[in-house]
Amino acid sequence: MEWISKSNIMIVGLGLMGGSYARALKRLGYRVSAIDSRAEAIRYALDRGIIDRGFTEPDAAALGDSDAVIFALYPGVFKAWIAQYQHLFKSGALLTDVTGVKSCLVYAIQAMLRPDVEYIAAHPMAGREVYGVENSDERIFLDANYIVVPTARNTPEAIEWCKSLGQVLGFARVVVLSPEEHDEMIGFLSQLTHCIAIALMTCNDSRHLAEYTGNSFRDLTRIARINEDMWSELFLLNKEPLLRHMDAFIGELQALRHCLTDDDAEGLRARMRLSTQRRAAFDEPEE
Amino acid sequence: MEWISKSNIMIVGLGLMGGSYARALKRLGYRVSAIDSRAEAIRYALDRGIIDRGFTEPDAAALGDSDAVIFALYPGVFKAWIAQYQHLFKSGALLTDVTGVKSCLVYAIQAMLRPDVEYIAAHPMAGREVYGVENSDERIFLDANYIVVPTARNTPEAIEWCKSLGQVLGFARVVVLSPEEHDEMIGFLSQLTHCIAIALMTCNDSRHLAEYTGNSFRDLTRIARINEDMWSELFLLNKEPLLRHMDAFIGELQALRHCLTDDDAEGLRARMRLSTQRRAAFDEPEE
């Protein structure tokens, strides 16, 4: 397997996700290096054997012998990093990432990239509500999806390598989507749901109700604890799909509202029947 | 304790909630009777020793020797039942219920009730997404709140009895609220969240996305599987608080939407910081 030969791996950005990648890859026997501007992150990972080598800034020698480079940075920082440091990559290196938005990044990075390295985009749909390599944990991959997001510029070999990466990391499913399919899906399943959780917490100072909450309110707002720097960037970079999904959702809430003001019990029941039927279909794969 | 002396208990409506009450009370040594128009529900409960006596219609002798009557019916049916059969209650009987809306019911029932019986309203905030005595399970009470909802017409003795009932049933917390406080709280924590879950399932035919869903989408839509007859009635009976909460929530979503269209990253971050701070306060009681 091609993947096996990419034995020197560099992780750029050693936070929760980069750290979880490092733990999994180190355990699998790869030589893992990392770059992170936070010296404590590097020290923490070196002290615990999560990485073999660590750097607080891009290191020419270390990048020059890395067969694969995994970017676990915020989207804007990722793009700027490539522009500034891509001359340091080893010829033939494969690059991938963990970024949660794709169309706005993948085409731009592939267009600016040296022709002798290849960037194959990926989105590991895993995470926690805590941050930093100190909270990294490769078990977050176990019941999660890993999305490989190729474009027409990618080679079959790079796509296969990236799929193998998702598999060896332990993801439950490895799926291939186009950047546009990815962004449409993520705008609905992840970004709209985070908008809802935020709005539910900000629409009412409900803290005095904490003692009455059952599981439904807690379930709907768990993701309202959010990293505002990362998520505001992700929302703005995926603005068009997200606005489309928000408008469709607000439209449905308005329709429910009209049923209420019109005393339209049958209208309410019809929407509840549809939601019940659709949600039941969602339960099948997990039950 | 006054509660102990109410040893003959009648449950009217032997579904999931009535059946769960019956199981708990029978285990505690009370004599438990039940009325349900569904003959299979009565037969099921008798066969398994969940009740001592069962009837498919109001029985004068059984109601005449019941010290306490617990109504586990839909709101409209509950009110009609009282109007039609209240002459059958034993003098001095205490009545209570499990209904999820209060202002629209409690005052009307207390106003029409015989002066020699007393109705003390309650809302056990427990449930499952399945129905019927066949799915009843007293464990649903264990981590749930039991709300006692008195009015000025209630006696201290009845309020104490109802609180004791919540305790012996095994609820984690027993709380007292006015009908208006109850309806405002339930409109927000339960009804608005169900509206959100319904709208999230109906705004997009997302069934093809089932394979990509992570926990956040599943958590937000779990309650989209809903009993349309019961919930449409509950929504319409609590229309005013629910509409107020829906409007506040839609307003917050519109505000997020404007931040997106205006590229207002700081506006997004400010809302995320507020939601994070408020949700953290919610986590404290459970962590």
Cross-chain residue pair B272–A216, CB shorter than 8 Å: no
Q: How far apart are CA B239 and CA A254, in angstroms?
A: 14
pLDDT at A6 > cutoff 80? no
- On whether any CB of chain A is under 8 Å from the CB of B238, the answer is no
Sign, Cα dihedral of B5, B8, B13, B19: positive
d(CA B259, CA B249): 16
Q: Do B214 and A125 touch (CB under 8 A)?
A: yes
Kindly report the pTM of this predicted structure: 0.89
Chain B contact for A129, CB < 8 A? Answer: no
pLDDT at A71 over 90: yes
- Rounded to two decimals, the ipTM of the complex is 0.89
To the nearest whole Å, the CA of A139 is away from the closest chain B CA by 15
Among positive and negative, which fits the CA dihedral B125, B127, B129, B133? negative
Q: Which residues of A touch B175 (CB under 8 A)?
A: 211-212
Which of the residues in chain B have pLDDT under 70? Answer: 1-6, 284-287
More confident of the two residues A286 and A262: A262
List, for residues B78-95, the tens digit of each pLDDT value: 999 999 999 999 999 999
Nearest chain A Cα distance for residue B144, angstroms: 7
Chain A interface mutation, best of B149, B216, B258, highest count of A Cβ atoms under 10 Å: B216
Of A73, A58, A98, A61, nearest to A14 by C-alpha is A73
What integer pLDDT is reported at residue B287 of this predicted model? 40
Distance from chain centroid for Cα A183: 11
Which range is least confidently modeled, A24-38, A71-85, A270-284?
A270-284
B96 three-class SS: strand
B250: Cβ contacts below 8 Å, ≥ 6 apart: A250, A253, A254, A257
Residue A283 pLDDT class (50, 70, 90 cuts):
confident
Q: Is the pLDDT of residue A62 over 90?
A: yes
What amino acid occupies position A8? N
Tell me the pLDDT band of A129, cut-offs 50, 70 and 90.
Answer: confident
